[in-house]
C-alpha cells in the first residue's frame, strides 16, 4: 500500500461551523478538518475537555448556542441528527442561505480519494473501529480514522492520517451510513434498535442492505457468521455481483473461524483459522492477544483482523498489532480502585451490550461481587427494551437503576425506569432505585465491600459518577 496524502479540504467545508461540536462524532470530523487546514468553529451546550482539545488545534469553540456565534465568513453549518430545527445558529444559517451539512456528509467528503473501511452494526462499532485504528497506526500505515469515542484522551477519536486507508465508524441509527462508499464494510450484528427511526426488523435489514450496496465494485463485506441478524442479512445479499463476502465467527463454515477464546484475567488469547496459503492447503492458524476482556471483544478483534486482511494488510503483522488496543474511553474503562473496590465504566445501553459486558467482567473477576449502576438511555429505547434491560441486569449481584437519560427525546407518558427495575426484580435481582445522581455514591459505598467491582453503565452522563463513587469508597 502506497501512502497517499489526503485530498484538500472540500468546499464548502473550508470555514465550517459545527453545532454541537463537542459530540463524539462531530468532534472527530472537526478535528480532521482542522488538521487538514480548515478554519473550524463551533458551539456546544457546555465546555468540555473535547472542546479544549479542539481549541489546541486552532478551532474556535463557543459555549452555549447563539446566532451571534456564527462567524460572518462561515461557509456552512455542520449538524447531527440531534440538532433541532429551532436551534438559533441553524436558524441564522438558514437566514443567510448557508448550507446545512450533516455530519455524515462531511465525513463522506473527507473519505473521498482514500480506501475506506466502514464499521457498522448494532453493537461493537466503536471498539472494532478503535482496534483497527490502533493496529494500523502501530504498523506504521498512518491511517485516517473517525471513531465514536475517545481512545485514551479527549480528542483522540480522530486523526487526519497520511496513509491511504480511512477507518470510520458507520452509524445506522439515522441511516447516515448510507452516505459512505467503503472498499471494505464490516457488519458486526443486526438487531432492532433506534426505535424512533426504525419500526421493524424489515426496515433495519433494508437499511443495512443499502449500506452494503454502497461498497465499491470489487470490494469486500466482512460479516458475522454467528449472529442471527447478520446471517439473515447475508442470505438477503446472496448473488450480489461485484461483492466479496467474508464471514467470521465460531460457525464451522466461517471464512475466518474462531477456534478458541481463552480468558486471561482481563485479557483474552484468541486462535483463528483463516484462508489457505495455497489452493487445497489447510487453513492457517493464528493465535494473538486481545487486551480487553470478554468473548464479544475477542470477536470484534477477529472482525478487525478479517477487514484488515481484506484491505491487503498481512495477517501475521496485523494480529499481534491488535493487542495494542487497550480500550476506548467508556468501553470497560477502569476508572480506579478505592477501598479494595474497582470501578469500571461501560457505554453499554442495549440489552445485548449490557449482558456481554456483565459477562466479560464476571469472567475476568470471579472472586468478587459485581455491582452495577445503570442509567437507561432514551425513552423510546426503554419503552421497547426495558424488560430485556432488566433481565440483563439480573446478571449482576446488585444494581442501582437511575432515571432515564432523555438525550434528544421528550418524555413518553408512562415510560420510566420502573419498566427496568420491575423486570430485574422479577428475575430475583437485588435492585435499588436511584432517583437523583447525587445520592448514588453513598448508596454504592453502603453496598460494596473489598473485592467487588462496580460497573457504571449507560450512554448518558452516568460516567460522571465514577470519580464520586471512588471518593466515597476511599473516604
**pLDDT tens, 74-92?**
999 999 988 989 999 999 9
In this prediction, residue 475 carries a pLDDT of 67
Q: Is 1's pLDDT higher than 50?
A: no
Instruction: Tell me what the mean pLDDT of segment 307-318 comes to.
Output: 97
More confident residue, 404 or 357: 404
Element (H, E) at 209: helix 201-213
Q: What topology does CATH give the domain 16-101?
A: Rossmann fold (3.40.50)
pLDDT band at 197 (very low <50, low <70, confident <90, very high): confident
Rounded-to-integer distance, Cα 237 and Cα 233, Å = 6
121 is in an annotated binding site: yes
Half-sphere exposure of 391 (CA within 13 A, CB side): 7
Region of residue 385 (phi > 0: left; psi between -120 and 50: alpha; otherwise: beta): alpha
Q: What is the mean pLDDT of the chain?
A: 91
State which fold the 114-324 domain adopts: 3.40.1190
The three grid cell numbers given for residue 115, joined into one nine-digit string: 480506501
Residue among 266, 273, 451 nearest 360 (CA): 266
Classify burial at 410, counting beta carbons within 10 Å of its beta carbon; exposed 0-12, middle 13-18, buried 19 or more: exposed
**What integer pLDDT is reported at residue 278 of this predicted model?**
58
pLDDT the model gives residue 93: 97
- What is the structure's pLDDT at 150? 80
Q: What is the pLDDT of residues 248-298, one digit of tens each?
A: 999 999 999 999 999 887 789 999 999 875 567 778 999 999 988 889 899
Quick one: pLDDT at residue 279? 66
Among residues 14, 105, 126, 416, the one annotated as catalytic is 126
Grid cell, residue 31, equals: 478535528
Of the pLDDT bands very low, low, confident and very high (cuts 50, 70, 90), residue 5 is very low
Q: Considering only the top CATH level, what class is 331-474? A: alpha beta
DSSP category for residue 405: B
Rounded Cα–Cα distance for residues 106 and 19 (Å): 13
Output the CA angle 178-173-298, nearest 5 degrees: 95
Spell out where 80-164 has E strands. Answer: 100-102, 115-120, 144-146, 158-159
- State the DSSP H helix or E strand holding residue 258, giving kind and residue range, or none if neither: strand 256-264
Q: Which of 50, 89, 105, 125 is catalytic?
A: 125
pLDDT in tens, 112-145: 999 999 999 988 999 999 999 999 999 999 999 9
pLDDT, tens digit (0-9, with 9 covering 90-100), for 199-227? 899 999 999 999 999 999 999 999 999 99
Is 122 part of any known ligand binding site?
yes
Domain regions of the chain by residue span = 16-101, 114-324, 331-474
Q: What is the pLDDT of residues 424-475, one digit of tens each?
A: 999 999 999 988 889 999 999 999 999 999 999 998 899 999 999 999 998 6
125 is an active site residue: yes
112 labelled catalytic: no
CA 53 vs CA 22, 217, 467: distances in Å: 10, 38, 21
CA 260 → CA 120, 234, 385, distances in Å? 24, 24, 32
**Alpha carbon distance 51, 314 (integer Å):** 37
Instruction: Kindly provide the residue ranges of all beta strands, DSSP E only, lying in 291-362, ordered along the sequence.
Output: 331-338, 341-346
73, with CB counted inside 10 A (0-12, 13-18, 19+), is: exposed
Closest CA to 120 of 236, 213, 223, 197: 223
**What burial letters (b/e) apply to 393-406, b meaning 16+ CB within 10 Å?**
bbbbbbbbbbebbe
Q: Is residue 355's pLDDT more than 50?
A: yes
Choose among 399, 382, 394, 374: nearest CA to 462.
374
3-state secondary structure of 293: coil
The reply, when asked if residue 60 is annotated as ligand binding, is no
Hunting for cell 488496543 — which residue is that? Answer: 325
Residue 317's H or E segment, with its range, is helix 315-321
Better-predicted residue by pLDDT, 82 or 98: 98
**Residue 347: predicted pLDDT:** 86
Instruction: Please give the average per-residue pLDDT across 301-326, as a whole number.
Output: 96
Q: Which of 4, 11, 5, 13 is nearest to 31 (CA)?
A: 13
**All three cell numbers of 135:** 493496529
- Judge whether 123 is annotated as a binding position: yes
Based on the residue annotation, tell me whether 169 is a catalytic residue of this protein: yes
Cell reading at 45:
451546550
| Separation of alpha carbons 327 and 305, rounded Å | 16
Choose the catalytic residue: 169, 172, 183, 191: 169
Distance of alpha carbon 232 from alpha carbon 190, whole angstroms: 9
Beta bridge partners of 119: 169, 186
Percentage of the chain surpassing pLDDT 70? 95
SS3 36: coil
125 labelled ligand-binding:
yes
Dihedral over alpha carbons 196, 202, 204, 207 (to 10 degrees): -110
Amino acid at each position: 500500500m502506497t501512502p497517499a496524502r489526503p485530498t484538500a479540504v472540500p468546499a464548502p467545508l473550508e470555514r465550517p461551523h459545527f453545532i454541537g461540536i463537542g459530540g463524539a462524532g462531530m468532534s472527530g470530523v472537526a478535528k480532521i478538518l482542522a488538521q487538514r487546514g480548515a478554519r473550524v468553529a463551533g458551539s456546544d451546550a457546555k465546555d468540555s475537555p473535547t472542546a479544549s482539545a479542539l481549541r489546541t488545534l486552532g478551532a474556535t469553540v463557543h459555549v452555549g448556542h447563539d446566532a451571534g456565534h456564527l462567524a460572518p465568513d462561515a461557509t456552512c453549518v455542520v449538524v447531527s441528527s440531534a440538532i433541532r430545527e429551532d436551534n438559533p445558529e441553524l436558524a441564522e444559517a438558514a437566514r443567510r442561505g448557508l448550507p446545512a451539512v450533516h455530519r455524515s456528509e462531511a465525513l463522506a467528503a473527507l473519505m473521498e480519494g482514500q480506501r475506506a473501511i466502514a464499521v457498522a452494526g448494532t453493537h461493537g462499532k466503536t471498539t472494532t473501529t478503535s482496534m483497527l485504528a490502533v493496529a494500523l497506526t502501530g504498523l506504521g500505515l498512518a491511517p485516517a480514522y473517525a471513531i465514536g469515542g475517545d481512545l485514551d484522551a479527549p480528542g483522540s477519536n480522530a486523526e487526519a492520517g497520511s496513509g491511504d486507508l480511512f477507518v470510520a465508524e458507520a452509524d445506522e441509527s439515522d441511516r447516515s451510513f448510507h452516505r459512505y462508499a467503503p472498499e471494505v464494510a464490516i457488519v458486526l450484528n443486526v438487531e432492532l434498535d433506534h426505535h424512533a427511526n426504525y419500526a421493524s426488523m424489515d426496515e433495519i435489514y433494508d437499511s443495512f442492505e443499502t449500506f452494503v450496496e454502497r461498497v465499491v465494485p470489487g470490494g469486500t463485506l466482512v460479516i458475522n457468521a454467528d449472529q442471527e441478524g447478520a446471517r439473515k442479512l447475508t442470505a438477503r445479499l446472496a448473488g450480489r455481483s461485484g461483492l466479496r463476502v467474508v464471514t467470521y465467527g465460531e460457525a464451522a463454515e466461517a471464512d475466518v473461524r474462531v477456534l478458541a477464546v481463552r480468558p486471561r484475567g482481563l485479557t483474552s488469547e484468541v486462535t483463528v483459522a483463516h484462508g489457505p496459503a495455497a489452493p487445497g492447503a489447510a487453513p492457517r492458524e493464528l493465535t494473538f492477544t486481545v487486551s480487553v476482556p470478554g468473548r464479544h471483544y475477542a470477536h470484534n478483534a477477529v472482525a478487525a483482523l478479517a477487514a484488515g486482511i481484506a484491505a491487503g494488510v498481512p495477517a501475521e503483522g496485523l494480529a499481534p498489532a491488535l493487542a495494542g488496543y487497550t480500550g476506548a474511553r467508556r468501553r470497560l474503562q477502569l476508572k480506579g480502585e478505592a477501598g479494595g473496590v474497582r470501578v469500571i465504566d461501560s457505554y453499554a445501553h442495549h440489552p445485548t451490550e449490557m449482558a456481554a459486558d456483565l459477562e466479560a467482567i464476571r469472567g475476568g473477576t470471579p472472586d468478587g461481587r459485581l455491582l452495577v449502576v445503570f442509567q437507561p438511555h432514551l425513552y423510546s429505547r426503554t419503552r421497547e427494551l426495558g424488560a430485556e434491560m432488566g433481565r440483563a441486569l439480573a446478571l449482576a449481584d446488585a444494581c442501582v437503576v437511575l432515571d432515564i437519560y432523555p438525550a434528544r427525546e421528550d418524555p413518553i407518558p408512562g415510560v420510566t425506569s420502573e419498566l427496568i427495575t420491575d423486570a430485574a426484580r422479577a428475575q430475583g435481582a437485588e435492585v435499588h432505585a436511584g432517583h437523583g445522581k447525587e445520592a448514588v455514591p453513598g448508596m454504592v459505598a453502603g453496598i460494596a465491600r473489598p473485592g467487588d467491582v462496580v460497573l457504571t453503565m449507560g450512554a448518558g452522563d452516568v460516567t460522571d459518577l465514577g470519580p464520586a463513587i471512588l471518593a466515597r469508597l476511599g473516604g
